[in-house]
Structures are given as structure tokens and as C-alpha cells.
Structure 1
């Protein structure tokens, strides 16, 4: 049986369970993101891991952090494989915008211990291994695991996310011209909003009152612009319809690993506009727009350039990119092979 630990249940987790469940018994153990609850959850997790130890074949963690310390330790002590899937914040140190595990002393120690003592690291993007970050000039350029943990010896294998392109598809609906959508959770927290690029989106909305913007994922987020519609979390069916009613998808993150919503939206035919961070340029390829520096004027100019290049404003091209490079099957096969299940 695989023990799967994570700090919070997300679409990433559900997709992994869907991939692994048919070929191996797997038990998911959710941890906590609350600092006040940390001592309790460390004790709880210790006894959970002890209880399941006789049946455990290996440990799997999504993100490195507090929740991965004990699985890495159990793996070491009892000779069981422990794999950590690095997802983004666990490979980043950006105190300038209040983001990344490495900006907090004890979380950094937990993250470093986990990555040094696990058996295998599976980042979702090459940029999480090592990157020379240039998007926001006020942020340190040295990001990624090998920059932040120079003596890291643990084997690393990049496995990008994959998407169910039979579900996430172009429904052939009419799309409102100059309509933009972006999906992110927790954006009512100002630091999180900046991480997800909402400051740039608001500047676009302010400068173009005739364009429409939909921000999905946090109903508590407050926009100063009347042409910005804020919606809460959506189920997959609601997201499918929302993607299909918009012309463009915005992923203007200041930092990112491998954003699921971007791939989903492209599979649904949204033309992507993204920042040059994490796997975003790799996902978009030649099918949309890449903003190489955080600059509202540059973004505005590039969007008008995109409008004038009709060949790029194509739902079919964006969808084909996901079908070709980021299929559900590709990720499933690579993940099962890395876990010795395939």
C-alpha cells in the first residue's frame, strides 16, 4: 500500500489518486496548513504512519514541507521508498512577495530535510529544479531546488502534469470577444493575489473598460474594476462551461510550478496569455503570448500584437498543444514507472 501525504486536498491529488488507484492500494493522509495545528498533526501523522507501517510499500508526498518530514524519516529508518512531487512553493524563495517555503526558517528546515532524505524527487516543471529567474527584477534570480539546496544529492526526474482532454474540450460555443478568464484560490489574501498576477489583470481591466474579466476561485476577492466578475470555486462542469465562454486565459503569475488551470483552459480552446515563469512558457509554446517581464505597458502592447496575428488566436492550436505534449496518459505512465508500478 502507498501512503500519500499532502498539506491540502487539491485537483492535483485527485488526479494522482485516479492514476494510481487502479494499479495499487493507496491511502491518502491529509496534513494541515495551520501553524497552530502543526504539533497535533505531527503526533497524529506519526501514529498514522506507525499504524499503517506493516502494510506500507512506499510513501508519496505532494510538495515538500512539514507533512513530508515523517514520511521521509520513516522511509529512511524502515527501508521504504519515499517520493516527493515538487509542485512550486517548495522550490521557491521569494520573501519580496511573501512566497515560498524557503523564506520561513522552520518550514525551510523541514523542506530541506525532506528533499535530502527522500528517495526520489518528481518536480512538475524543469524550472523547479534550477532556474535563473528574470520575470520580476526585484526578486532574487536564484530559484529552484539546486540553487536553494546546493548539496542536494537526491535523484530528480521531471514529470509534467497531464490533462484529460476528453473531458476538457472545446464545446464549440460562441465566445465573447475580448473576454479573459483566470482561475486561482486564496486570492483574497493580497500576497497570494500578487503571486497569481491579479495586480496585472486589474491594471488591464482599468485600462480597457470595454474588455471583460472573470476571476474564479475566491469569492472573497474584491476588485476595484466594474468589468471584473469575481466568482468562487467551481466544480469541473462549471469550469468547463466557463472556459468555453471566454476567448483568452490569463496566467500572469509572479511564480508558478505547473498551473493546472492553464492546461485545462487551453484544452478547452482558450488562447493563453502567460508570464515567463515556471512551466508556463513550456505549456503555451507558440500558441499564445508570453510576457517576459512584469510590465503592464509591455503586456498591453503584446496583447494587441496577438490580436493582429489571427493565426495565433486559434482555439484549435491551443488545444492541440495540450493533446500533443501534456496528455493524461503521458503523465500516468511516467508517474507509475517512477513509482515502480508500471
Structure 2
């Protein structure tokens, strides 16, 4: 049995479970993101792992952090393989924007211990291994596991995210011109809003009053812009419908690993405009537009260029990029091979 631990259940973890349970027995153990609940969850997780130990063959963790310490310890003591999926914040140190595991003493210690002592690290993108960050000049350039843990010797294997190309589809219908969408939870928190690039969206919304900008994920976010529409979290069907009603997807994050929503939107025919952080440039490649520096004047020029392109040709290119490079089947194959 595979024990799968994570700090919070997401569509990403659900998809992994779906991939794995077709071939192996898997048990999920959700941890917590509440710092005050940590002592209780460490005790709970210890006894959960102990009780399940006789049936356990592997440990799989989504992100490195507090929740991966005990699975890593159990794996080391009882000679069981431990795989940790590095997803973004666990390979980042950005105190300038209050983001990343490595800016907090105890969380850093938990993350470093986990990555140093697990069997293999599975980043969702190569940028999380080692990167020179240049997008925002106010933020430290040295990011990624090998920069933040210089003596790291644990084997690393990148397994990119994979997407259901049969569900995320372009309906082929005409779309309202000058419509932009982005998906980001928790943006009523100013720190989170900056991380997700909402500050830039506010600027360009003012510059393009005739355009419509839809923010999905947090109804508590307040804006004075009349052309910014804020909606709450959506299920998959709701998201697919929204993507198919918009021409462009904005992924203007200050920090990112391998964003799922970007690829899903591209499969639905949204033309991507993304920041040059994490694996966003790899995902988009030549199917959209990349903002190399966090400068609103450059972004405005990019949007004007994007609006001048033939949308129907561009939407086909966007979908084709994900179909070719990041299908569900590819990730499933690479993930299942770990447990054979």
C-alpha cells in the first residue's frame, strides 16, 4: 500500500490518486496548514503511520514540509522508499514577498530534512531544481533546490504535470473579444494577490477599460475596477465553461512551479500570457506570450500585440502545445513506474 500525504487536498492530489489507484492500493493522509494545529497533527500522523506500517510499501508526499518529516523518518528507519513531489513553495525562498518554505526557520528545517533523506525528489518542473530568477529585480536570484540546499545529494527526477485532454476541450465557439481570465485562490490576502500577479491585472484593467478581466477563486477580493469580474471557486465543469468564454489566460505570477490552470485553459483554447517564472515559459513556449520582467509597460505592449493576432489560429496552437507535451497518460506512466 502507498501512503500519500499532503498538507491540503487539491485537484492535483485527487488526480494523482486517480492515476495510482488503478494499479496500486493507496491511502491518503491529509495534514494541516494551520500552525496552531501542528503538534496535534504530528501526533496523529505518527500513530497513523505506525498502524499502517505493516501494509505500507511506499510513501509519497505532495510538497516537502512538516507533513513529510515523519513519512521520511519512517521510510529511512524501516527501509521503505519515500518519494516527495516538489511543487513550488518548497523550492523557493522569497522573504521579499513573504513566500517560500525557506524563509521560516522550522519549516525550512523540515523541508531540508525531508529532501535530504527521502529516496527520490520528484519536481513538477525543472525550474524547481535550480534557477536564476530574473522576473522581479527585488527578489533574490538564487532559487530552486540545489541553490537552497547546496549539499543536496538525493536523486531527482522531473515528472511534469499531466492533463485530461479529453475533458479540457475547446468547444470551438466564438468568444467575446478582449476577454481575459485568471484562476487564483486566496487573493483577498494582499501577499497572495501579489504572488499571483493580481497587482499587474489591476494596472492593465485600467489601461484597457474596454476589456473584461475575470478573476476566479476568491469572492472576498475587492476591486474598484469596473471591468474586473470576481467569481468564487468553480468545479471542473464550471471552469471549462469559463475558459471557453474567454480569449486569453493570464498567468502573471511572481512565483510559480508548474501551474495547472494555465495548461487547462490552453487546452480549452485560451491564448496564454505568462510571466517568465518557474516552468511557465516551458508550458507556453511559442504558443503565446511571455513577460520577461515585471513591468507594466512591457505587459501593455504584449497585450496590444496579442489583441492584434488571429485568435482562431492562436487558440489551436495553444491547445496543441499541451496535447503534445503534457498529456495525462505521460505523467501516469512515469508516476506508476516508480512503484514497480
TM-score normalized by the length of structure 1: 0.98
- Residue in structure 2 matched with residue 169 of structure 1 by the alignment: 169
Inter-partner Cα distance in structure 1 for 2:224 and 2:256: 25
Give how far 1:302 is off. Answer: 1.4
Shift of 1:236: 0.4
SS of 1:115's equivalent?
Answer: helix
SS at match of 2:150: coil
Question: What is the CA-CA distance between 1:208 and the residue it aligns to?
Answer: 1.2
Shift of 1:313: 5.8
Q: RMSD value over aligned CA atoms?
A: 1.0
1:99 equivalent to 2:99? Answer: yes
Deviation at 1:222, TM superposition (A): 1.1
The question of whether the paired residues in 1 share the 8 Å contact of 2:161 and 2:260 is answered with yes
Give the secondary structure class of the aligned counterpart of 1:176: coil
> 1:306·1:312 contact (CA, 8 Å) conserved in 2?
no
2:319 is the alignment partner of 1:340: no
Q: Deviations over 1:214-242 (max 9, x none)?
A: 00011111122111110110000000100
- How many angstroms apart in 2 are the aligned matches of 1:150 and 1:241? 45
Distance verdict in 2 for CA 1:145–1:336, change over 3 Å: same
Conserved in 2, the CA contact under 8 Å of 1:215 and 1:230? yes
Deviation at 1:165, TM superposition (A): 0.6
Deviates more, 1:216-225 or 1:71-80: 216-225
Contact 1:288 1:313 in 2 (8 A): no
- State the 1:335 CA deviation: 1.1
CA distance in 2, matches of 1:323, 1:28: 29
CA–CA distance in 2 between the matches of 1:130 and 1:312?
Answer: 37
Partner of residue 121, structure 2: 121
Structure 2 counterparts to residues 53-132 of structure 1, below 5 A: 53-132=53-132
Q: Residue 232 of structure 2 aligns with which residue?
A: 232
Which residue of the partner structure matches residue 216 of structure 1?
Answer: 216
The aligned residue for residue 318 of structure 2 is: 318
Q: Secondary structure at the match of 1:209?
A: coil
The unaligned stretches of length 5 or more in structure 2 are none
Aligned to 2:51: 51
**Equivalents in 2 of 1:308, 1:32: separation in Å?**
46
Distance 2:183 2:52 in 1: 37
How far the C-alpha of 1:123 sits from its partner, in A, is 0.2
1:128-207 correspondence runs (5 A): 128-207=128-207
Q: CA separation in 1, counterparts of 2:224 and 2:295? A: 20
Report the alpha carbon displacement of residue 116 of structure 1 after superposing the two structures with TM. Answer: 0.4
- State the shift of 1:206 in Å: 1.2
Aligned mates of 1:106, 1:139 — CA distance in 2: 22
Secondary structure of the residue aligned to 2:14 is helix
Distance in 2 (CA, whole Å) between partners of 1:220 and 1:25 is 39
Q: For each residue in 1:130-160, what CA deviation from the matched residue of structure 2 results, as whole angstroms up to 9, or x when unmatched?
A: 0000000000000000000000000000111
1:287–1:312 contact (8 Å) kept in structure 2: no
Provide the rounded CA distance (Å) in 1 between the counterparts of 2:43 and 2:25. 24
SS at match of 1:246: coil
- Aligned partner of residue 214 in structure 1, secondary structure: strand
CA distance in 1, matches of 2:287, 2:63: 29
Instruction: Tell me, in whole angstroms, the C-alpha distance in 2 between the residues paired with 1:263 and 1:335.
Output: 19
Query: Is the CA contact (8 Å cut-off) linking 1:4 and 1:29 kept in structure 2?
Result: yes
When the two structures are aligned, how many residues end up with a matched partner? 340
Aligned to 2:254: 254
Asked if structure 1 preserves the Cα contact closer than 8 Å seen for 2:181 and 2:250, the reply is yes
Give the 4+ runs in structure 1 shifted more than 2 A. 306-313
Confirm or deny: 8 A CA contact 2:262 2:272 kept in the other structure.
yes
Distance 1:207 1:307 in 2: 14
